[in-house]
Structure 1
Amino acid sequence: MGLSRSSLAGPGYVILNIIRVLNIIVFLDTIAASVALIVKINIVNGFFFFEAVFHVIIVGISIFLIVSELPILRGYFDRNWPLFGQDSSFITLSIVMMIMGIAVLGDLNKSTASDTALGLAFWRIVVSAGILAIIMSTVNVLASFIFRDNDGGVTARHVRAYGAVAPSKVLERSSSHKSFQLGLNRQDSLPTYRTHSPISRPLSVRNGTRFPLKISPRTNDSEHHGSVPKSPKETDITVPNLAHHPAMYSTTV
């Protein structure tokens, strides 16, 4: 059934929140059963420590899953534990719950966990924790498939959080995420202004040294080019005699 038929969204909000409360009750029952098994451990040899550690781990996982079911720290789970985040289904939760239920019921196979050894009250707590965990694991799997919409990207967690407006909320979140990614890509594509290194110079300039210029002292030009030519006043120039010019001998007709 898809959420395109909006008639499931409203009842789904109520049903899934009831399942949430039942999940928390199952985890609290599992914590109580694990504590009872820790208290009633029969110390046969030194390996009892590992049995106690196993039950402590079950308690820690139960507390973690209780926090994941509460409407707190959503951003933390989305970033670090996406399988328990807002965009995931209840499949991972169901698998962990199933394993915990089987492990708790498996402890009842020991002689130290019989109803006479544990006491009838503690024995019932252990039995109820295992049975309820297995039942609720199956219920969460069914809820994940019933209240999801693959076409709209809506999961059962979205319906549990937003109800009938889950499709619009998911669309709004996806559009805001895309705009954020677009902004990041646009920022990365903008030109960056860097301080470029100065124009490369010759090695002698970069090292602060220059080729030395050897300037020879000015010598007397007469030593290299001979004597300096004399000025016209100093040369012996004679003015030609105009009487001997051919024009003076021409006859006038």
Structure 2
Amino acid sequence: MASLKESLAGPGFVILNAIRILNIIALLDIIAACALMLVKISLLSNFFVFEAASHVITAGVSIFLIISELPFCRNYFDHNWPLLGQEAGFITLALVMMILGVSVFGDLNTDATSQESLGPSFWQLILSAGILAMIMSAINLIASFVFADSDIGVTARHVRAYGAVASQKVVKRTASQRVFRLSTERDSLPKYSTESTPRRQSSMPRFPVKITGPMKGEDAASSKYSRETSEVAVPNLAHHPALHPGHV
């Protein structure tokens, strides 16, 4: 199955770019149909503003899809509109074009957009816009599965952009993204350095300790005298004058 899809990558480049042109033609047809219905809108009802707004929104979405189909602003759509980017294929495009086609068909159910009111040529223009949108929706949905290889992450948009070398481009891109992710994760980790970390110093100041030698001679005698005088002896109460009144 993988070899079959690789063999389809070369012809798929031509087929998918032809489908791109048809997508743009179908979207331009929808824009022309919306402009025509906007001009022919009926002003008899008070809700014509909302009908006009629906036509403007439909035309705006078609213009946005045309820009997404052009080979410009790929990075913008990859980052801001990933469902229309290179990694998403044509599934979202097919669903939106189906909704646009159904909306155009629904607008034909009014008296202002009837064949008698618009005329055969204008009515056929609006009818062709709905038919082309629904047909291209089905084609895009089928192409998105036929030319994609989910095993290696190749989408139909990759094949449309790179052709037969789409698988190689995707593998290189995936490898570069992994290297970039690993490098960013490594740079984001905190770094610890023993040289840059200051050592904790004691808050107590350090003073030099001087140890004196043993005292000799007079120093020893004076120290002995000071020790003896420091010890005060309790007097003997037997010799107190209060106890011998005759001697006073």
Same fold (TM over 0.5): yes
Change (3 A) 1:124 1:81: same
Q: Which amino acid aligns with 2:149?
A: D
1:177 maps to what in 2?
A: 177
The Cα shift of 1:89 comes to 1.2
2:62 maps to what in 1?
A: 62
1:12 aligns with 2:12: yes
1:165 aligns with 2:168: no
Q: What SS does the corresponding residue of 1:112 show, helix, strand or coil?
A: coil
Change (3 A) 1:5 1:45: closer
Q: Which amino acid aligns with 2:26?
A: V
* Identical positions, percent: 54
Structure 1 unaligned blocks of 5 or more: 203-228, 230-253
1:83 maps to what in 2?
A: 83
The Cα shift of 1:3 comes to 5.3
1:72 aligns with 2:72: yes
Q: What SS does the corresponding residue of 2:149 show, helix, strand or coil?
A: coil
TM-score where L is the length of structure 1: 0.75
The Cα shift of 1:189 comes to 1.5
1:53 aligns with 2:53: yes
1:114 maps to what in 2?
A: 114
The Cα shift of 1:121 comes to 2.0
1:129 maps to what in 2?
A: 129
Q: What SS does the corresponding residue of 2:112 show, helix, strand or coil?
A: helix
The Cα shift of 1:46 comes to 2.1
TM-score where L is the length of structure 2: 0.76
CA contact (8 A) 1:2 1:146 kept: no
Q: Find the aligned partners of 1:3 and 1:77 in 2 and give their Cα distance.
A: 30
Change (3 A) 1:35 1:2: farther
CA contact (8 A) 1:2 1:147 kept: no
* Greater Cα radius of gyration, structure 1 or 2: 1
Q: Which amino acid aligns with 1:74?
A: R
Q: Find the aligned partners of 1:87 and 1:34 in 2 and give their Cα distance.
A: 31
CA contact (8 A) 2:24 2:66 kept: yes
CA contact (8 A) 2:5 2:148 kept: no
Change (3 A) 1:164 1:8: same
1:244 maps to what in 2?
A: none
The Cα shift of 1:112 comes to 1.1
CA contact (8 A) 2:68 2:77 kept: yes
Runs of 4+ aligned residues of structure 1 deviating over 6 Å after TM superposition are 199-202
Q: Find the aligned partners of 1:190 and 1:115 in 2 and give their Cα distance.
A: 72
Q: Find the aligned partners of 2:181 and 2:25 in 1 and give their Cα distance.
A: 40
The Cα shift of 1:124 comes to 1.2
Q: Which amino acid aligns with 1:136?
A: M
Q: Find the aligned partners of 1:192 and 1:155 in 2 and give their Cα distance.
A: 44
Change (3 A) 1:40 1:188: same
Please tell me the root mean square deviation across aligned C-alpha atoms, in Å.
2.3
Q: Find the aligned partners of 1:65 and 1:192 in 2 and give their Cα distance.
A: 51
1:146 maps to what in 2?
A: 146
CA contact (8 A) 2:2 2:149 kept: yes
- Please give the per-residue CA displacement for 1:70-114, whole angstroms capped at 9, x wherever unaligned: 010000000000000011111110000000000001111111111
Structure 2 unaligned blocks of 5 or more: 204-225, 227-248
The Cα shift of 1:190 comes to 4.4
The Cα shift of 1:2 comes to 3.9
The Cα shift of 1:45 comes to 2.4
Change (3 A) 1:3 1:113: farther
